[in-house]
Amino acid sequence: MGVVAVRFEKDNGSPVNRRAVKRRRRSRREHPVAIISGAAWLVVILAPLWYLVTTSFRNQASYLSSNPWIPSGLTLANYDAIVQAGFGRFMLNSVLVAAASIVVVCVSGLAASYAIVRRTSRLATVVMYLALGCLALPAVSVVVPLYFVTQHLGLYNTLWAVILPVSTFGVPVAVLVFCTFLRDIPAELFDAMAVDGAATWLVFRRLALPMSVPAIAIVAVYQCVQSWNNLLFPLILTQSPNERVLPLVMYEFVGQFSLNVPGVLAAVVLSSAPLVFVYAVARKQIMGGIVAGYGR
């Protein structure tokens, strides 16, 4: 069809062509409705975020009595109070949880996917079906037994009680991403290495691992977002203040500081800032991961 288009464009005299050119030009110009609706949605997205950031810098008097859209009575006191409340510790906990669960998910997911794609053992097929099954399993479904399982394993009220379940629910997505990636490596490459006498381990290290780096980035960023934002597991599987992670802290601040809304919002800003930074530097991976993981 492309060939036909070229022929028409060269044929300058024909009226058919003039109409086509005109239509194309018209479609190149932006329709005002498109601009207005695009801007309207921009406002819908930005309005609550504008409210969040500006209110987090307000003093109590300004919050209670001034126009919520126009910043006034700005202060850093809310942030100071949040930091005084031990926010650094909670942030550190969240970083530890995210880092550990990224490692767990990448290692176990990549290893299992390699086994699935290369069919190194029968177990691999079992893992594939388990992972696919767990893809649609809501986390709340297993949270009651997890409460007892983590107690039996001696993990209850430790960061591991958050890390391991949140990683488990990331494994299916990781398997999905890694399998898609590994499948695209030509089988000839694997066969060539095998013919040269390379052991499975060597093939994995020298071929599969380097080829999977972009997929590892996608899974790592995906798991970072998931583990950073999970509220359910810390809510139910941890208890003591020392093991709190950020979503739980935010949730509890709402109860404690119910009158100090700017303070709570300052905690929200501080908790979300690291991921907004990740979004700024790794937007492509976030989108790849979220689409591949179907957003769970």
Partner 1 sequence: MMIAVKAPRKKLASILTASFGLLLPLPALVLLTLFAIVPLVVAAVLSFSSWSGAGPIHWVGFANWYNLLTNPASQSAFLRTLTAAVVSWVVEIAMGAALGIYLAGPRRYRKYLAIVYFLPMVLSSTAIGIVWANFMDPNFGALAPVLHDLGIHSAPALLGSPRTALYAVTAVICWQFIPFNTLLFMGGRRQIPETVYEAARIDGASPFRCLRSITLPQLRYTFVTASILIIVGSLGYFDLFLVMTNGGPGVSTQVLALRLYVQGFSTAQFGAASTIGVGLALVGLAVGVALVRLTGFGRMRSQQEGL
CA torsion through residues 242, 246, 251, 254, sign: positive
Is residue 279 within the footprint of partner 1 (CB under 8 A)? yes
- Of the candidate spans 76-84, 109-117, 185-193, 211-219, the one that interacts with partner 1 by CB under 8 A turns out to be 109-117
- Of the candidate spans 74-82, 106-114, 186-194, 210-218, the one that interacts with partner 1 by CB under 8 A turns out to be 106-114
CA Rg value for the chain: 26
Q: Of the candidates 98, 159, 164, 207, which one interacts with partner 1 according to CB under 8 A?
A: 164
Q: Of the candidates 98, 102, 131, 220, which one interacts with partner 1 according to CB under 8 A?
A: 131
Q: Measured from the CB of residue 165, what is the shortest distance to partner 1 in angstroms?
A: 5
What backbone torsions phi and psi does residue 71 show, to the nearest 5 degrees? -65, 135
Total residues interacting with partner 1, rule: CB under 8 A: 109
Is residue 62 within the footprint of partner 1 (CB under 8 A)? no
Is residue 229 within the footprint of partner 1 (CB under 8 A)? yes
Q: How many residues does the chain have?
A: 296
What backbone torsions phi and psi does residue 74 show, to the nearest 5 degrees? -75, 140
Q: Where are the alpha helices (DSSP H) in 136-212?
A: 143-152, 160-168, 171-183, 187-195, 200-203, 209-211
CB 190 within 8 A of CB 118: yes
Taking the C-alpha atoms of residue 143 and residue 203, their distance in angstroms, rounded to an integer, is: 39
Hunting for tokens 């005002």 — which residue is that?
32
Q: Measured from the CB of residue 76, what is the shortest distance to partner 1 in angstroms?
A: 20
Q: Of the candidates 61, 74, 187, 231, which one interacts with partner 1 according to CB under 8 A?
A: 231
Q: Measured from the CB of residue 197, what is the shortest distance to partner 1 in angstroms?
A: 13
Kindly identify the residues of this chain, within the stretch 236-275, that bind partner 1 according to CB under 8 A: 236, 246-247, 250-251, 254, 261, 264-265, 268, 271-272, 275
Q: Of the candidates 185, 211, 217, 287, which one interacts with partner 1 according to CB under 8 A?
A: 287
Angle 286-289-295 from CA coordinates, rounded to 5°: 100
Nearest to 234 by CA among 294, 155, 295, 290: 155
Q: Which is nearer to partner 1, 92 or 281 (CB)?
A: 281
Which H helix or E strand runs over 212?
none
Q: Of the candidates 93, 100, 118, 177, which one interacts with partner 1 according to CB under 8 A?
A: 118
Kindly identify the residues of this chain, within the stretch 74-103, that bind partner 1 according to CB under 8 A: none
Taking the C-alpha atoms of residue 283 and residue 215, their distance in angstroms, rounded to an integer, is: 14
Q: Measured from the CB of residue 229, what is the shortest distance to partner 1 in angstroms?
A: 3
**CA-to-CA separations, 164 to 35, 161, 257, 273, in angstroms, rounded:** 46, 6, 31, 24
Q: Measured from the CB of residue 207, what is the shortest distance to partner 1 in angstroms?
A: 14
Q: Measured from the CB of residue 266, what is the shortest distance to partner 1 in angstroms?
A: 11
Is residue 27 within the footprint of partner 1 (CB under 8 A)? yes
Kindly identify the residues of this chain, within the stretch 171-200, that bind partner 1 according to CB under 8 A: 171, 175-176, 183, 199-200
